[in-house]
Amino acid sequence: MPVIHVLDENTINQIAAGEVVERPSAVVKELVENAIDAMATVITVEIKDGGTSLIRVTDNGCGIPADQVEEAFVRHATSKILDVSDLDHIISLGFRGEALSSITAVAMVEIVTKTREALTGTRLVIDGGVKKSLDEIGSPEGTTILVRNLFYNTPARKKFLKSNVTEGNYIAELMERLAQAHPEISFKFVTNNQVKLHTGGNGDLQSVIYHIYGRETAKNLVPIHYDVDGIRIEGFVGKPVVSRGNRAAENYFINGRYVKNAVIFKAIEEAYHPYLMSHRYPFTSLAVTIDASRVDVNVHPTKMEVRFRDSELIFQAFYHAISDALAGKNMTVEVTAVEKKPETAKEEKIPEPFETKRMATETSLKQVKPNATLPKKNLEFDIDQLPNVLKEPPLYHVNEAAGEVQKIGEKIPVMKPEQLTITFEEPVNLMEAKGQEDYRIIGQVFETYWLVEYGKELFYIDQHAAHEKVLYEKAYAHYKEKQLTSQMLLPPLILSVTARQEEVLLANLNLLAELGFEIEPFGGREYQVRSIPADLYNLNEVDLLIEFLDGIDLETGQKQTPELILSRLATMSCKAAVKGGDHLSKEEAQALIDALMKLEDPYHCPHGRPVIVSVSKKELEKRFKRIV
């Protein structure tokens, strides 16, 4: 018969580590969040071999008092909450009190920390949950934590890690999100001695986005400023031209915490529905500030998921913040005539505020003497700081096994704002033309696209997408105002349907009536269509109705919804619009463009395809080698 017994502390910690420390990125997440909670303004993260052999996190935060350093590594020890009542209004990023004890259970950990008031710092070494040493040491204010040989004592778990490159990419993605969530903090991320990310900490989110995602994304941003019902949303969303094939770029942060939430995903994608094609997802980088009592972050061990007290209010806030910001913006797709390699943050590096020099030593700390010469090997040191290495050796830790000299508590100088401020010229907007005298219709190409000259831009307008959009907006306006008109059919059309189509038809008769269809039973599974929407000229009405019925899912199509109405209007508009290859006179094209210019969003058809693309005079001159 099995015997019940209490697990030992080491086993308990390793089980907890299985929940908290899934991979190296989880270690970085917990340590950086602690640094942010410690009010750090400068944070450096350095990894080697994807974080498996070394993770070093240095901050200039408040530090840990000497008499509390050991206690910080006890399971469920935390400075973030006192009792269960505090869980109702958590404002810190870390609060479970499991991170440090879980990390020390599966790695070799060293911490050097000092508070502002203390004269000296404290150095604690723990290997596999066992304390090795506790010393007094000289160090600047802040905390440095080194995590070496992750999962060295649990090789079975180490086998489940992916390659070092993949694990390093997970950490890089985490650092990019942290930098967006906290643009007021200067982050530096170094992997295998290469700087991959360096932000200025001056609060300029657009500059952070530029150095993560590159110029094309940064120049196609729309600012968001929303503050209603105690929910404040600030940041940027991307124009449709920088959409992605998955949700990886949908970033949003609740009270500084990167999370995922199905309600927010749905709100973002509903707001973008008129602008994006199917299976395309927008770029967002949004910071949400909300009273902590209205959000539950204590849902998942990694704190990645949250729940809201009022999900509908959150949905409405995100939907209106984004849809209101996108309304009326110039979303003409700019075409680059000359192909070139995309510019990214890595190609346009910000000048470092100081030069660096690689140095190392194989000597021990006791051998570092004033005026000594250290042999060169593999470590970065600031040239300006080099004399301090020789004059103040208690400030440096020598790892003899790795052959490294590591400066304790090294701080990153915050870059000047002017080094990071990014500005872009607003593209020419054809929709701003005040009349026909301001733009010139040049002609039509391929019997589909109309060429229009305005300013120093050449615009291409897809006649089908443009007409589809005009018809859609007209029908939608009439639908909202209950002014949809019908045209009688003499004689009526007879519609024969299957059992499934009949079920959908009967469930949506009211919707069809609102759209302008008048349908009555005619016996059996046949129905007579007495009238259709007035704008559906030159269409096969029977085919349109059959397509309508086949396009509704029986599981969800029983209920009339705004989304269903919009979808049907889009289908009707697409069927009724002129097609590519249809002949239009210049006068008809003029009337179409004039109607298009009166719309709030003339840039996308109801299915999200672009209506207008442009090529600048400058790009054409590059192609013809008039300029370089």
Q: Are 222 and 238 in contact (CB under 8 A)?
A: yes
User: How far is 505 from 401, CA to CA, in rounded Å?
Assistant: 76
Q: What's residue 123's pLDDT?
A: 94
Range of lowest pLDDT (177-191, 280-294, 332-346, 590-604): 332-346
With the C-alpha atoms ordered 127, 133, 135, 137, is the resulting torsion angle positive or negative?
Answer: negative
CATH no. of 428-628: 3.30.1540.20
pLDDT at 550 over 70: no
pLDDT surpassing 90 at residue 145: yes
**Cα–Cα distance measured from residue 304 to residue 296, given in angstroms and rounded to the nearest whole number:** 11
> In this predicted structure, what is the pLDDT of residue 366?
38
The residue behind tokens 């910080």 is 72
User: What pLDDT was estimated at residue 540?
Assistant: 55
Domain pair 9-197 / 215-334, same fold? no
Rounded to the nearest angstrom, the gap between the alpha carbon of residue 311 and the centroid of all alpha carbons in its chain is 20
For 244-301, give the secondary structure using H, E and C. Answer: ECCHHHEEEEECCEECECHHHHHHHHHHCCCCCCCCCECCEEEEEECCHHHEECCCCC
Which of 119-123, 160-164, 368-372 bottoms out in mean pLDDT, i.e. has the lowest? Answer: 368-372
User: Which helix H or strand E contains 58, and what residues bound it?
Assistant: strand 54-59
* pLDDT for the residue numbered 516: 75
Mean pLDDT within 34-38: 90
Residue with token string 């006179």: 585
Backbone angles phi, psi at 351, to 5 degrees: -60, 130
pLDDT level of residue 111 (50, 70, 90 thresholds): very high
Q: What is the mean pLDDT of residues 319-324?
A: 91
Of the candidate ranges 114-118, 180-184, 477-481, the one whose mean pLDDT is the lowest:
477-481
Confidence band, pLDDT 50/70/90 cuts, at residue 539: low
Separation of alpha carbons 63 and 66, rounded Å: 9
Per the prediction, the chain carries an average pLDDT of 75
For the cut 60, the answer to whether the pLDDT of residue 348 exceeds it is no
d(CA 2, CA 19): 26
pLDDT at 293: 81
Give the dihedral sign, CA 316/241/244/233: negative
Is 577 a residue whose pLDDT tops 80?
Answer: no
Is 50 exceeded by the pLDDT of residue 569? yes
Phi-psi sector, 131: left (phi>0), alpha (psi -120 to 50), beta = beta
Average pLDDT over residues 478-494: 75
Sign of CA dihedral 147, 152, 156, 159: positive
9-197 CATH fold: Heat Shock Protein 90 (3.30.565)
pLDDT above 80 for 501: no
348: number of Cβ within 10 Å: 12
For the stretch 510-520, pLDDT in tens is: 777 777 778 88
Q: How much is the pLDDT for 441?
A: 85
pLDDT confidence bin for 126, thresholds 50/70/90: very high
Domain boundaries, the chain: 9-197, 215-334, 428-628
Unique residue bearing structure tokens 């969003």: 601
What percentage of the chain's residues is helix, strand, coil (to nearest 5)?
Answer: 35, 25, 40
Check whether domain 215-334 has CATH 3.90.1150.10, yes or no: no
Which CA distances in Å does 435 have to 214, 313, 462, 466, 591?
36, 42, 20, 18, 12
What is the SS3 assignment for 96? coil
pLDDT at 85 over 60: no
How confident is the model at residue 392, as a pLDDT? Answer: 43
More confident residue, 366 or 125: 125
